[in-house]
Structure 1
Amino acid sequence: MTVETSPADALLPALGRFTTVPADSARYDTDISSAAQALRATPAQISRLADHGLPHTADAERGPLFDYDDIMNVGMFCGTGQTVPELGLRFLMRFASSPEASWFEPRDWEIGVHPARTAGGAEPAEGVRLPTVTVRVPDLAAPGVTALSPGFDGPLRENGYEAAVRLTGARHTVRDPRILEAWHEIVDALAARRVTYQTVPEVLRADHHRAWDLGIADCMVASRLLADRLRAQGFEARARRGYLLGLFGSDHSWCEVVEDGVAKSLDPVFAFVATVGDERGVAESPAFARACLGSRFNRLLPCRTDSAEPLVYFDGEPAPYWAMVGVGARPRRSQ
């Protein structure tokens, strides 16, 4: 069915372009005000999304409540160019169109990880207890990571942290045909739209085979699936997880495989986004897409995890996606 839209209904074309979160994985905790803020829309536009089938629950006091991942996907697929996810992707991927040397040279960063504890940053209702926040810290032993401030005693820290690090990239290529075959299976499925690149909730990231079978994937799903396929071929491989640094930090995942004794980074989602280019408002960069097959970039900060576990927890459980708005980064000033 074709939905007739007016400028006031600019978000409606997104419906049907992505897969909404399955009911057994959904977390309906985002109210109209928070959704409107993320989509740079009016409450009336959010109400129309609900009227046209965007899944939600009804709360007697707060009104319709949506899954935040669904809201992010509305923003990514509506095509207005003004929503938070559209602007965020363009900003974070802007470095891909920079000169190649800038992807690898040493770069110093100041990072602040202080996750938001309420959707939209709103004050909690009277009597509502805010969750205890636990976060994963940078992996200061990872290749290309140098600590410029005191390190951390363990892999987790309560309430967040601030840190300074130097990230140094490295140019690598991959030659083994088995790695190349597994790589192209993932990237080509995204490019051909057999699998839709979209925001995926944490519970489905953990069940990445189910997500792929549903025809959806984000960086976490694609990286875990690629690591599985490489391990099945006998390679030492794992999904890595950390932050893509810019004016703010974004949860990101990539795959790492050992070839000829060297740990090489494989980033299928970066490669896909750099290939489709202007479709999502990101400059096309074939050179960057090629570099995603083996190279390490100076804007990716890996965190300490055993198997790419979540980076932020509320009361010991994986935090919702909106908690990431409390992560920020900026180039470090000379000391």
Structure 2
Amino acid sequence: MTSALSLDGVFLVPPEHHVPDTDRAAATQLLGCDDRTLDTLVRRGLTVRDDRFDGRDLFNLALHSGTGRTVPEQAFAFSLRWMRGTAESLLAPRTLSFTLTAACRCADVVLALPRPDRYGGAVIPAPEADVVAGTTVSATIRTEGRAVPLRSPVLRGLVEEFAALGVRWVKLPDALREDESLVTTHRVATCESASRWLARRCREAGYAARTRIGWVVGMLDLVHAWVEVTDDDGETKVVDLIFAGFAAGVPGANPLLTDPAVALRTNRLVPTGFEVGARVARHDCDAPVTVRIKPVKE
């Protein structure tokens, strides 16, 4: 990473997907720069239309700037501080309150349920299905982590291959979020596209694999994605390429998070019953969907 704002290595939203939703004042605040620096970035290729920018371009530029001063960098540093924790803190059972809300009045709203019971945890009340009708889902959930060896040298090789690509996690338009071709053509990925890439490579190598979506406790309410793959010992294990990549940039991160020989499922992972391509909320408008997952004192 560099110590100053630079477009080197930054993937800009393609023109057909560009949304000029951020004005100059907000842009300089997000990037932590002045107008002169912003003008320099524009001259070097940062897309601008009618003096407005795509917020995703600004976010990606700021997150990977290496300055340590931008809003996205500071937000991620705060959200990922748990990666410095002990193995016990990553694996121990946790009790959490869960609330998923669709802020709309659509007649037919269907929300995904948390399913930590698929990973040895529990949901109270116990779900009978993977979805429920309504604008709010509330439950008490129990999660637990697991760290086991990834026994297949082929699977370990795929994890190492992805790490060697130097892929950056970025915000992308919805139309590109699952585009796994960007992993190799531009070295960028969302958790969805990285998971699709790995699941496909696993299947090509003869291993049963599927993607899974859900949430990570404390991670900015983002929907996350990872891979479940059946290892040589017959056990299905979780492999999370993006979080391994995040951990690689966190000073003092627990080495379990980045070890290609370990399949780590942290106690912060809250799965749904769905793969990449599904949505945690199905409704007929663009109203925001938020999740709140908070610790419950025992």
TM-score (norm 1): 0.73
Q: Runs ≥4 in structure 1, deviation > 6 angstroms?
A: 129-133
* Cα separation, 2, equivalents of 1:152 and 1:38: 46
Q: Which amino acid aligns with 1:252?
A: H
* Alignment RMSD: 3.6
Change (3 A) 1:315 1:81: farther
Query: 1:328 is matched with which residue: 292, 295, 298?
Result: 292
* Cα separation, 2, equivalents of 1:329 and 1:95: 15
- Contact 1:239–1:307 (Cα < 8 Å) also in 2: yes
Q: CA deviation at 1:110?
A: 1.6
- Contact 1:248–1:329 (Cα < 8 Å) also in 2: no
Q: CA deviation at 1:163?
A: 2.7
Q: Matches of residues 1-335 of structure 1 in structure 2 within 5 Å?
A: 13-24=5-16, 26-28=17-19, 30-32=21-23, 35-36=26-27, 39=30, 48=39, 51-52=42-43, 53-58=45-50, 64=52, 66-114=53-101, 135-149=111-125, 151=127, 153-155=129-131, 157-190=133-166, 195-246=167-218, 248-259=220-231, 260-278=233-251, 283-290=252-259, 293-312=262-281, 315=284, 323=288, 326-334=290-298
In structure 2, stretches of 5+ residues that fail to align are none
* Cα separation, 2, equivalents of 1:131 and 1:70: 35
* Cα separation, 1, equivalents of 2:93 and 2:38: 47
* Cα separation, 2, equivalents of 1:211 and 1:234: 21
Q: Matched residue of 2:157: which SS?
A: helix
Change (3 A) 1:332 1:14: farther
TM-superposition CA deviations, 1:232-266 (whole Å, max 9, x none): 11211112211111274332221111123322111
- Contact 1:204–1:211 (Cα < 8 Å) also in 2: no
- Contact 1:137–1:303 (Cα < 8 Å) also in 2: yes
Q: Matched residue of 1:295: which SS?
A: strand
Change (3 A) 1:212 1:205: farther
TM-superposition CA deviations, 1:18-75 (whole Å, max 9, x none): 1111223x251523289459827589589648744432433xxxx62x3332122022
- Contact 1:50–1:56 (Cα < 8 Å) also in 2: no
- Contact 1:265–1:294 (Cα < 8 Å) also in 2: yes
* Cα separation, 1, equivalents of 2:113 and 2:71: 26
TM-score (norm 2): 0.81
Change (3 A) 1:211 1:99: closer
- Contact 1:241–1:305 (Cα < 8 Å) also in 2: yes
- Contact 1:172–1:294 (Cα < 8 Å) also in 2: yes
Identity, % of aligned pairs?
Answer: 26
* Cα separation, 2, equivalents of 1:241 and 1:151: 17
* Cα separation, 2, equivalents of 1:242 and 1:179: 23
Q: Which amino acid aligns with 2:172?
A: V
176-185 vs 31-40, greater mean Cα deviation: 31-40
In structure 1, stretches of 5+ residues that fail to align are 1-9, 118-128
* Cα separation, 2, equivalents of 1:72 and 1:28: 13
Q: Which amino acid aligns with 2:185?
A: D
* Cα separation, 2, equivalents of 1:291 and 1:81: 27
Q: CA deviation at 1:231?
A: 0.7
Q: Which amino acid aligns with 1:31?
A: T
Q: Which amino acid aligns with 1:15?
A: L
* Cα separation, 1, equivalents of 2:168 and 2:49: 25
- Contact 1:107–1:298 (Cα < 8 Å) also in 2: yes
Structure 2 partner of 1:6: none
Q: Which amino acid aligns with 1:180?
A: R
Q: Matched residue of 2:68: which SS?
A: coil
